[in-house]
Every structure is written in structure tokens, then in C-alpha cells.
């Protein structure tokens, strides 16, 4: 499984003068500035990925393991909480749920406080070997408009696996403050995915 970077679309000089709407649809960094707040409060951390040589401290996203039935998540297009946990039991042996993502669906976490120090995201995924999963950070601009910043595109492997370390990116929009950010997962193409145990790294101790 690998992550492929997104590249912004190139506009010709002649089209640029007429491309205001196209720019708004491009990378979220070109969107109006986000609404910022106070720095994020300190949260309890864990190191869930040490088996993968990642000793960083992480914070679980709101119901990031779906053990509360997807509380706070927005599940669209047939996405649902299902029985069956990622096999590594990172959250504990009693965990038994994950989020199912059929083709055409999306799953968005509840919003969480993200500051400049919240630098990366990592989670577990199971998807078809020919499939891809889009990961976005969703936030609200100062003008009240929802904006989505692409973070990564993950390739499936046909089995449960840990994602690569994904840069949060949107955290760079809140120096000295914070954003309320949700993470959205959207399959591309056919096939069904599952995701589980979504974590954010607030310190990136590498």
C-alpha cells in the first residue's frame, strides 16, 4: 500500500483571469482562510503503532475505533458501522467494530481540535488491491464555507494494513490557534473498504 501525492492543476495565463471558480475547487490552501480559535487543550496520548517502528504519540479521533457505534461520524452513501475489528487489536482485545465503506460512500469523523502541532494522521484500512481511498481534512473557513483539503490517496492491498504516516497539512493554516477539522474517507472506483482506529499525532515524536 502506498500513498500518492496530489498535484495542483496548472492553469494557463489566459485562463487564470477567468478561473476564480476553478481555483476555489482546487487545493483548499487557495480557499478563504479558516476560522481559527484558541490553542487545542492537552489530550492523553498513546503509542499505538510501535509494532510498525512508529514510536510517536497519538490521540484517537472522536470514536476513531467506531466502538461507540460511529458516534459523531457522518456516514453517507451506504457507509455503516459493522462488526469486525482490524486484526491487530490496537484499541484492545474487546474492540469489535469498524466502518464499512462501499463504492459511492463516504465517512467523516466528528470535528476535532487541530493546531499547528497536530501534524500527522494514521489509521487501519482494508480495501481491494485495485482500489484507492481518498483522505481529506474538512474545515470551515472564516466566511462560514466548508472546505476540504486533500491529504492523501491510499492504495488497497486486499487485506488489513496500517496506513502510511499522512501529513495533516491543514494544521499549517492555524499557527498560534486551532481549527475544527474532520477527516473524510471516500473510496474511489468499485469495491468495498473498511477503516478502523483513526489516530492523529499531536507531537510527531520521530
Element (DSSP H or E) covering residue 16: helix 13-16
Q: Domain tally for the chain? A: 1
Look at residue 19 and tell me if it is in a domain: no
Residue numbers of the chain with a pLDDT score lower than 70: 1-33, 203-206
User: Contact, 167 vs 120, CB < 8 A?
Assistant: yes
Look at residue 28 and tell me if it is in a domain: no
Look at residue 20 and tell me if it is in a domain: no
Tell me the pLDDT tens digit for each residue of 137-168. Answer: 999 877 788 999 999 999 999 999 999 999 99
Give pLDDT, residue 36.
Answer: 75
3-state secondary structure of 196: strand
Look at residue 46 and tell me if it is in a domain: yes
Give pLDDT, residue 98.
Answer: 98
Look at residue 14 and tell me if it is in a domain: no
Give pLDDT, residue 19.
Answer: 35
Look at residue 120 and tell me if it is in a domain: yes
Look at residue 135 and tell me if it is in a domain: yes
Domain CATH code at residue 48: 2.60.120.260
Q: Give the domain extent around 147.
A: 34-201
Amino acid at each position: 500500500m502506498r500513498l500518492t501525492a496530489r498535484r495542483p492543476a496548472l492553469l494557463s495565463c489566459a485562463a487564470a483571469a477567468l478561473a476564480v471558480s476553478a481555483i476555489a475547487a482546487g487545493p483548499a490552501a487557495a480557499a478563504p482562510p479558516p476560522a481559527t480559535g484558541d490553542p487545542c487543550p492537552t489530550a492523553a496520548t498513546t503509542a499505538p503503532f510501535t509494532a510498525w517502528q512508529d514510536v510517536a504519540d497519538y490521540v484517537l479521533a472522536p470514536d476513531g475505533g467506531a466502538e461507540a457505534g460511529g458516534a459523531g461520524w457522518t456516514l453517507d452513501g451506504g457507509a455503516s458501522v459493522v462488526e469486525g475489528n482490524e486484526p491487530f487489536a490496537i484499541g484492545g482485545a474487546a474492540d469489535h467494530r469498524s466502518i464499512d465503506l462501499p463504492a459511492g460512500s463516504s465517512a467523516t469523523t466528528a470535528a476535532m481540535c487541530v493546531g499547528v502541532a497536530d501534524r500527522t494522521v494514521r489509521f487501519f484500512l482494508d480495501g481491494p488491491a485495485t482500489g484507492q481511498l481518498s483522505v481529506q481534512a474538512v474545515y470551515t473557513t472564516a466566511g462560514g464555507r466548508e472546505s476540504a483539503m486533500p491529504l492523501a490517496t491510499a492504495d488497497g492491498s486486499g487485506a488489513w494494513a496500517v496506513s502510511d504516516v499522512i501529513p495533516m497539512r491543514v494544521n499549517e493554516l492555524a499557527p498560534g490557534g486551532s481549527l475544527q477539522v474532520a477527516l473524510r474517507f471516500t473510496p474511489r472506483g468499485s469495491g468495498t473498504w473498511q477503516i478502523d482506529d483513526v489516530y492523529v499525532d499531536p507531537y510527531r515524536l520521530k
